[in-house]
């Protein structure tokens, strides 16, 4: 069975319409790709010109000062609290080691052990006002650093909304 001339003519017309539609879609896709490339360039420019300076400003004015204060407080606590405490602990340990060595030598010689010096047991220290203030400042500085980092890195919807609505580009 063959197709009639009328059907063949309709099929050719339909094929021509489909080819024209395909070509127009290719042009449309090409135009959309060009617009996407231009938008990508503009987004990169916006990031370099608007977002990066804003983030840098927030870092310079909010995060960096808090980090610097935290560093100073930490250095102060380490220098004035930790190092002396470790030094005292090491001194006590070395004294105990010396007493143990003296006792060992005395027992090896068969004589009675008499310690060279009496090491009194240190009284447990209570936390003073200064150490409580240092701990509170350290915790506050840590919270400040975390808050500043959160403010700098959170998604801010207002940052991405343009002031003036974009119009249709003039071609």
Q: What is the pLDDT of residues 71-95, one digit of tens each?
A: 888 888 888 888 888 888 888 888 8
Residues 159, 95 contacting (CB under 8 angstroms)? no
Please state the φ and ψ torsions of residue 95, each to the nearest 5 degrees: -65, -45
In the Cβ-directed half-sphere of 3, how many Cα atoms lie within 13 Å?
A: 8
CA angle 67, 68, 71 (to 5 degrees): 85
Rounded Cα gap, residues 130 and 137, in angstroms: 10
List the one residue out of 20, 81, 39, 57 whose CA is nearest residue 166: 39
Q: How big is the chain by its Cα radius of gyration, in Å?
A: 40
**Per-residue confidence band for 162, with pLDDT thresholds at 50, 70 and 90:** low
* CA dist., res. 125 & res. 170, Å (int): 78
Which tokens belong to 123? 């009284």
The confidence score (pLDDT) of residue 131 equals: 80
Q: 167: pLDDT confidence band, cut at 50, 70 and 90?
A: low
Delimit the domains of the chain by residue range: 7-49, 59-119+128-152
pLDDT for position 168:
53
Chain Cα centroid distance, residue 66: 14
Classify residue 110 by its DSSP letter: T
């Amino acid at each position: 069975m063959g197709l009639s001339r009328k059907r063949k003519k309709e099929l050719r017309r339909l094929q021509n319409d489909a080819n024209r539609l395909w070509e127009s879609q290719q042009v449309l896709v090409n135009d959309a790709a060009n617009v996407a490339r231009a938008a990508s360039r503009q987004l990169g420019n916006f990031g370099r010109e608007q977002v990066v300076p804003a983030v840098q400003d927030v870092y310079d004015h909010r995060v960096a000062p808090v980090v610097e204060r935290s560093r100073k407080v930490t250095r102060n606590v380490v220098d004035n609290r930790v190092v002396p405490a470790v030094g005292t602990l090491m001194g006590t340990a070395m004294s105990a080691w010396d007493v143990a060595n003296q006792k060992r030598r005395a027992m090896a010689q068969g004589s009675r052990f008499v310690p060279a010096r009496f090491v009194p047991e240190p009284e447990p220290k209570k936390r003073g006002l200064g150490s409580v203030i240092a701990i509170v400042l350290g915790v506050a500085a840590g919270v400040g650093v975390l808050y500043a980092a959160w403010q700098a890195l959170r998604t801010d919807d207002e940052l991405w909304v343009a002031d003036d609505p974009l119009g249709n580009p003039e071609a």
